[in-house]
C-alpha cells in the first residue's frame, strides 16, 4: 500500500494504547505484521518521554503516525500536532478533533479548519472523519490525500455501522486511499471493510483488550490480508434466487432411463 508517496508493508494499522504491558504491545505489533502504529503525544510524554515509550516504538520498525487524540478544538489539535512533530520527528499526523464527548464523533467544521492550516504548514494529514461526502470533499480541498472514515464510535466494537454510506463513499472517491478507523471489534468486521474495497483498517481496543492480544493481533492481520485478496480476486455478486452449482448437462435422468 502507498500512503503519501510512502510504501507501507501492511494494510493493518494498530493503535498503541490500553495494552496490559509494553512487552504485550510489542509482541502484538510483531504478530499483526502491521506497518504503521499510532501514538498520542499525551501517551508518549506520560511514559517517560524519550527514555521510555518512544524507543520502544522505534524498535518495532513500524512507521509512526502521531495523533491528536483528545483534542476538542482546531487550535488544540494544531498545537498538539506541532508538538508531536518535534517529539517524533515526522510530518505525519492523524488529525482528530472531537465534537461530542459521548460519541467521540469528529467535529467536521473544526476538522476542516485544522486540516487546512496543518496542510499549509507542511504536515501530512490523516483526518479522522465521518462518512459525510461533503466533509470529505472539503478535506480533500484542504490538501488531505488520505482519509480515515469511522466505522462506528471509537471503542464500540460495532463494526461498520453505516454500510450503505461507506459504500457510497468508496464508490464516489475511487482514487483516494480510505482507511476505516474506529469501531472495528472483530476480524470478520475488518475483513468486511477490506472486501468492500477500503484500502486499510486502523484499530486499537479490539486487540489491546482481547484475552490474548498477541493472538488477536495475528487474527486481524490475517483477516485484513484475506479481505483484500478477496476484493482483488472479485467477489461474486449477491443474487435473489438460487443458482445450481452443479451443471445439469449430462446428468443421469432416472425417470427416462437415459442421459441428458
pLDDT digits (tens, 9 = 90+) for 12-22: 999 999 999 99
Quote the mean pLDDT of the chain. Answer: 90
Report the pLDDT value the prediction gives residue 242, as an integer from 0 to 100. 86
Whether 69 has a pLDDT exceeding 70, the answer reads yes
Categorize the per-residue pLDDT at 39 as very low, low, confident or very high, splitting at 50, 70 and 90: very high
Residue 99 has pLDDT above 70, yes or no: yes
CA distance 134 to 108: 10
Catalytic residue set: 94
Classify the C-alpha dihedral 79-69-33-193 as positive or negative: negative
Residue 49 pLDDT: 46
pLDDT at 185 over 70: yes
pLDDT tens digits, one per residue of 233-250: 999 888 888 888 777 666
Query: What are phi and psi for residue 192, nearest 5 degrees?
Result: -60, -45
User: What is the model's pLDDT at position 104?
Assistant: 87
pLDDT of residue 56: 86
Mean pLDDT across 61-84 = 94
> Averaged over 156-166, what is the pLDDT?
93
* Least confident interval from 38-47, 59-68, 174-183: 38-47
pLDDT band at 48, cuts 50/70/90?
A: very low
Amino acid at each position: 500500500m502507498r500512503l503519501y508517496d510512502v510504501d507501507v508493508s501492511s494494510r493493518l494499522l494498530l493503535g498503541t494504547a490500553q495494552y496490559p504491558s509494553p512487552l504485550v504491545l510489542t509482541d502484538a505489533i510483531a504478530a499483526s505484521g502491521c506497518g504503521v502504529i499510532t501514538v498520542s503525544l499525551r501517551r508518549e510524554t506520560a511514559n517517560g518521554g524519550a527514555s521510555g515509550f518512544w524507543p520502544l516504538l522505534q524498535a518495532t520498525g513500524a512507521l509512526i503516525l502521531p495523533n491528536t487524540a483528545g483534542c476538542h478544538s482546531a487550535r488544540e489539535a494544531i498545537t498538539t500536532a506541532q508538538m508531536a512533530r518535534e517529539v517524533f520527528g515526522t510530518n505525519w499526523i492523524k488529525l482528530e478533533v472531537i465534537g461530542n464527548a459521548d460519541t467521540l464523533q469528529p467535529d467536521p467544521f473544526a476538522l476542516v479548519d485544522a486540516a487546512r492550516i496543518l496542510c499549509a504548514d507542511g504536515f501530512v494529514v490523516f483526518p479522522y472523519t465521518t462518512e459525510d461526502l461533503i466533509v470529505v470533499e472539503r478535506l480533500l480541498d484542504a490538501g488531505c490525500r488520505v482519509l480515515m472514515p469511522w466505522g462506528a464510535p471509537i471503542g464500540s466494537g460495532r463494526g461498520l455501522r453505516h454500510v450503505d454510506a461507506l459504500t457510497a463513499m468508496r464508490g464516489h472517491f475511487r482514487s483516494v486511499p480510505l482507511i476505516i478507523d474506529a469501531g472495528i471489534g472483530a476480524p470478520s468486521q475488518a475483513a468486511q471493510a477490506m472486501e468492500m474495497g477500503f484500502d486499510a483498517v486502523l484499530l486499537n481496543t479490539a486487540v489491546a483488550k482481547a484475552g490474548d492480544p498477541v493472538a488477536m493481533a495475528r487474527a486481524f492481520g490475517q483477516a485484513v490480508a484475506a479481505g483484500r485478496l478477496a476484493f482483488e480476486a472479485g467477489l461474486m455478486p449477491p443474487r435473489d434466487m438460487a443458482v445450481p452449482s452443479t451443471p445439469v448437462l449430462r446428468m443421469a435422468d432416472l425417470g427416462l432411463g437415459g442421459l441428458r
